[in-house]
C-alpha cells in the first residue's frame, strides 16, 4: 500500500475547521482506505457504508440514527442517499458541533447538487485522484503512465494483471456504477461512446461531430459527457479568453482522466504498443495535464489557450497576478516553438515551461524552461 500523506493531512485539517468534509473521487481510487486511516485520530468513531444493505436500511431514519453520535462519523458512498444532505445541515448547525462528518462520494459536487444547496458554507470538498508521481516516486513514471493511477492497477503484480483489472473496472462502471449514479444508459451504447471519445483525447470537444459519427443527437452526446465528467472519468479543460484582437478557440478540450483507462480503451497492452500508436503524444499530454492539475493547491485556476491563427498553450495556470504557461511535448529535448513564443507574448506569461518525458533541464531566454514532469511538479505552487 502507498501512503498518501499529503491528502491525509488535508482531510485532517479540513475536519478541524468544518462540520462536514466531502472526500470525492472515482470508485476504486482509495477513498475508503484513506477514511479508515483517519478514524484512529478520533476518540469516538462511527462508520456507515451505504453499499452495505444493512447500513442503507439503518439510514431510513437518518436523524434518529446520527443525532446521538459523537466524534467522527464516516458515511461511505453517500450518493446512494441524496436526501441525507438536508439532515446533515441540521446536525452540522447544532451547538458545539459534537460530531464531524466525513462523507465519501463517487460523484462530483456538481452531480451531488443536494450537498451544494443544503450544506453551503458548512462543507469542504477534497478530491482524491489516482496515485500521482510524488506518491509513487520519480522512477515509476513510465509505470504510472502505462498503468494509470488506480491503486489496484498500478500495484498489480504483472502488466497482464493490471490490464485485466482495468478491463474489469470499465465493465463494472458501465454495467453497474453509472446506474447507481442515476444514469439509465445502456452499457453497449456508453461503451461505444467512451471508445469514440478516447480518440478525441487531447482535442477540442465537438459534440456535433461525435454525434454524427455515432448516430446520436447533439443533446445525447452532451448528456453522456456530463455523466462521465460527473463520475470523474472525464476532464473538460476550459479555454481562456482575452481581448487580443484575434479569434480564439471557445470549445473545451477533452481528456480521459486516467491514462491506464485510456490505454485499455485503445486496446494497448504495453508501452511498446503505445509508442507505435498515433495518439502517443495525446496520451502523454493528458497524463501530464492530470498529474499537474491533481497536484495544484486550491486557488490556482487552470485553462488552455488557442487562437485560430495557430498560437496555443496546452495549460495556463493563473494564481493571483501570476501566469504560468505549460507546453507538453513528447520528445527528448524540445525547443520553444513560434506558436509558444506568440502565446507567451500575447498572454504576458511570467514563466513558461516545456514538459518532456526525458531528464534534460534547459533554460532559454525570457523565463522559458525545458524540464521533466518531476522537476515541474517541484516548481509549481
pLDDT of the residue at 172:
95
Mean pLDDT of the chain: 92
Is residue 3 pLDDT above 90, yes or no?
Answer: no
Cα–Cα distance for residue pair 265/194, rounded to 1 Å: 8
Is residue 114 pLDDT above 80, yes or no?
Answer: no
**184 pLDDT tier (thresholds 50, 70, 90):** confident
**347 pLDDT tier (thresholds 50, 70, 90):** very high
- Verify that 110 and 181 share a domain, yes or no: no
b/e map of 147-162 (b: 16 or more CB within 10 Å)?
Answer: bbbbbbbbbbeeeeeb
More confident residue, 32 or 243: 32
Please give the average per-residue pLDDT across 309-335, as a whole number.
91
pLDDT tens-digit map of 158-177: 999 999 999 999 999 999 98
Q: Which of 98-112, 141-155, 301-315, 346-360 has the lowest mean pLDDT?
A: 98-112
Phi, psi of 254 (to 5 degrees): -115, 135
Is residue 27 pLDDT above 90, yes or no?
Answer: yes
Cα radius of gyration rounded to whole Å, the chain: 22
- Verify that 107 and 152 share a domain, yes or no: no
Is residue 344 pLDDT above 90, yes or no?
Answer: yes
Please give the average per-residue pLDDT across 221-235, as a whole number.
93
pLDDT of the residue at 169:
97
Nearest to 303 by CA among 251, 246, 258: 251
Distance from CA of residue 192 to its chain's centroid?
22
Give the domain CATH number at 349: 1.10.10.10
Query: What residue numbers bound the domain in which 87 lies?
Result: 5-127
Cα–Cα distance for residue pair 291/134, rounded to 1 Å: 9
pLDDT tens-digit map of 62-108: 999 999 999 999 999 998 888 898 899 999 998 888 999 999 999 88
Nearest to 354 by CA among 313, 306, 308: 313
Last residue of a domain, one of 84, 104, 127: 127
Determine contact, residues 87/119, Cβ cutoff 8 Å. no
What is the count of structural domains for the chain? 2
- Verify that 302 and 158 share a domain, yes or no: yes
Cα–Cα distance for residue pair 90/162, rounded to 1 Å: 44
- Verify that 113 and 76 share a domain, yes or no: yes
Cα–Cα distance for residue pair 171/320, rounded to 1 Å: 43
pLDDT of the residue at 25:
94
**116 pLDDT tier (thresholds 50, 70, 90):** low
Last residue of a domain, one of 80, 100, 127: 127
Give the domain CATH number at 56: 3.40.50.300
Last residue of a domain, one of 69, 94, 127: 127
- Verify that 13 and 140 share a domain, yes or no: no
pLDDT tens-digit map of 237-294: 999 988 777 788 899 999 999 999 999 999 998 899 999 999 999 999 999 999 999 9
Please give the average per-residue pLDDT across 358-375, as a whole number.
93
Residue 358: exposure state from Cβ atoms within 10 A (0-12, 13-18, ≥19):
middle
Amino acid at each position: 500500500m502507498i501512503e498518501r500523506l499529503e491528502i491525509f493531512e488535508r482531510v485532517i485539517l479540513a475536519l478541524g475547521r468544518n462540520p462536514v468534509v466531502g472526500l470525492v473521487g472515482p470508485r476504486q481510487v482509495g477513498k475508503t482506505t484513506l477514511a479508515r486511516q483517519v478514524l484512529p485520530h478520533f476518540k469516538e468513531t462511527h462508520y456507515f457504508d451505504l453499499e452495505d444493505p444493512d447500513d442503507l436500511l439503518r439510514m431510513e431514519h437518518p436523524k434518529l440514527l446520527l443525532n446521538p453520535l459523537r466524534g467522527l462519523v464516516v458515511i461511505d458512498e453517500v450518493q446512494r442517499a441524496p436526501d441525507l444532505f438536508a439532515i446533515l445541515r441540521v446536525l452540522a448547525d447544532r451547538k458545539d458541533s459534537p460530531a464531524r462528518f466525513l462523507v465519501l462520494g463517487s460523484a462530483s459536487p456538481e452531480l451531488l447538487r443536494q450537498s451544494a444547496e443544503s450544506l453551503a458554507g458548512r462543507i469542504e470538498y477534497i478530491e482524491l485522484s489516482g496515485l500521482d508521481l510524488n506518491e509513487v516516486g520519480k522512477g515509476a513514471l513510465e509505470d504510472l503512465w502505462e498503468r494509470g493511477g488506480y491503486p489496484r492497477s498500478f500495484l498489480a503484480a504483472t502488466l497482464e494483471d493490471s490490464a485485466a483489472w482495468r478491463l474489469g473496472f470499465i465493465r463494472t462502471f458501465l454495467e453497474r456504477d453509472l446506474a447507481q449514479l442515476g444514469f439509465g444508459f445502456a452499457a453497449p451504447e456508453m461503451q461505444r461512446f467512451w471508445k469514440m471519445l478516447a480518440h478525441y483525447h487531447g482535442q477540442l470537444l465537438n459534440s456535433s461531430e461525435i454525434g454524427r459519427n455515432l448516430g446520436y443527437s447533439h443533446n445525447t452526446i452532451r448528456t453522456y459527457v456530463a455523466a462521465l465528467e460527473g463520475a470523474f472519468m472525464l476532464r473538460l479543460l476550459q479555454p481562456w479568453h482575452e481581448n487580443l484582437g484575434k479569434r480564439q478557440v471557445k470549445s473545451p478540450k477533452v481528456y480521459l482522466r486516467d491514462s491506464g483507462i485510456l490505454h485499455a480503451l485503445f486496446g494497448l497492452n504495453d508501452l511498446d504498443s503505445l509508442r507505435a500508436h498515433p495518439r502517443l503524444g495525446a496520451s502523454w499530454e493528458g497524463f501530464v495535464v492530470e498529474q499537474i492539475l491533481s497536484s495544484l493547491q486550491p486557488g490556482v485556476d487552470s485553462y488552455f489557450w488557442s487562437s485560430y491563427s495557430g498560437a496555443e498553450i496546452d495549460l495556463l495556470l493563473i494564481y493571483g497576478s501570476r501566469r504560468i504557461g505549460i507546453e507538453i511535448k513528447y520528445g527528448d529535448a524540445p525547443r520553444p516553438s513560434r506558436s509558444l513564443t506568440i502565446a507567451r507574448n500575447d498572454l504576458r506569461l511570467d514563466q513558461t515551461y516545456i514538459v518532456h518525458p526525458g531528464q534534460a533541464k534547459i533554460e532559454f531566454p525570457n523565463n522559458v524552461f525545458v524540464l521533466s514532469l518531476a522537476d515541474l511538479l517541484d516548481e509549481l505552487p
